[in-house]
Amino acid sequence: MTTEQAEHHTRDQPLSILYRGSLLSCNYDCGYCPFAKAQDSRESLARDAVELQRFVDWVSQQTRPIRILFTPWGEAYIRRYYQQAMAQLGNMPQVRRVAIQTNLSLTTDAIERSYSETLALWCTYHPSQTTAEAFLEKCAFLKGRGIRFSVGMVGNRDELGQIETMRKALPDDVYLWVNANRDEQADYQAQELAMLKQIDPLFEQNLHHYPSLGKTCHTGSEVISVDGSGNVQRCHFIKQSLGNLYDGTFQPTLAPCTNQTCDCHIGYIHLPHLDLKKHYGEGLLERVPETMTPHQHT
Ligand code: SF4
Ligand code: SF4
């Protein structure tokens, strides 16, 4: 298919955008994370805010249906300018979803500031950084407010007890996902894997390095990754530029994947042959499965 055909094919289709701005800072200090307690200067935060507003302005001019997932390097949701931008975006008629990856450390007032009916939250609980009680209080607020969300944890082998405790404490209809700890994956014992699969019925899907070279992937056409300058890549993992959103040079592509494998949830969910939409439906972007039955405790 030519570029022109690809453009025509995708012009009126819904577009999902993974936005990752310049912000690098985080208020948490997770041992394994390069952004732990990283700080942004006042100038870099100001630049990030200007870039974000430019993105909001660009979205406001679009007519095709748009879904947005903020996938910051650090923790962006604690920033007031993200909360305000999310509310602004979420109230645009063409915007169907505004979601963000967050440690959920912000106040309930701040969550309220970001509210729209399209809001969805990808919340990660870090037991080394906050108490289960504090995290669960926020979850109770989200549930009471009718905000779509899922909760996730990294499957660290020394935190399996906390994962189990969190599963028991969360309401049954809140999905708890577990990401395999890649460094420890080879060490998981059979009973640990069984426990994690029992806690997260979709955990099995996170255990693979999916061969993706030459495979059709919806990124590049239905899903794109955008940085603070508006530069577009098909996904976070393939650096080749598809142009820029703001200067009109963005060219969608229907070309197959050029990486050997894909092992990150925000990537492999867009491989159509894995058919993961059957689990997530409209919640694909924010990792809230539609087909999940309320969790059954053993
Ligand atoms: S909350 Fe997320 S970004 Fe912040 S230190 Fe932990 S893993 Fe890193
Ligand atoms: S399969 Fe993964 S790495 Fe390949 S294009 Fe899709 S998201 Fe990117």
* Residues β-bridged to residue 98: 68, 119
Query: How many angstroms separate the alpha carbon of residue 21 from the centre of ligand 2?
Result: 20
Q: Would you say the CB of residue 126 lies under 6 angstroms from ligand 1?
A: yes
What would the pLDDT profile of 98-140 be if each residue is shown by its tens digit? 999 999 999 999 999 999 999 999 999 999 999 999 999 999 9
Please work out whether the CB of residue 226 comes within 6 Å of at least one atom of ligand 1: no
- Residue-wise pLDDT tens digits, 180-217: 998 898 899 999 999 999 999 999 999 999 999 999 99
DSSP annotation string for 187-226: G--HHHHHHHHHH-TTGGGGG--EE-TT---SBTTTEEEE
Q: For position 298, what pLDDT does the model report?
A: 42
Ligand nearest the Cα atom of residue 122:
1
Ligand nearest to the CA of 238: 2
Ligand 2: residues within 6 Å at CB? Answer: 212, 217, 219, 234-235, 237-238, 257, 259, 262, 267-268, 270-271
- Helix locations, 91-147, DSSP H: 108-113, 132-145
12 C-alpha to ligand 1 centroid (Å)? 36
- Phi then psi for residue 23, to 5 deg, are -55, 135
> Average pLDDT, stretch 2-15?
66
170: its two tokens: 């969360």
Which tens digit of pLDDT belongs to each residue from 82-102?
999 999 999 999 999 999 999
Average pLDDT over every residue of 156-171: 96
Query: Residue range 20-43: average pLDDT?
Result: 92
Tokens 């009718």 appear where? 146
Whether 81 shows a pLDDT value over 50: the answer reads yes
pLDDT higher than threshold 90 for residue 292: no
225 CA distance to ligand 2 centroid (A)? 11
Domains of the chain: 3-283 (3.20.20)
Strands 238-244, 231-235: pairing kind: antiparallel
Ligand 2 center to 134 CA (angstroms): 36
Q: What pLDDT does 290 receive?
A: 86
How far, in Å, are 19, 34, 49, 105, 238 from residue 26 at the CA level? Answer: 17, 10, 16, 10, 25
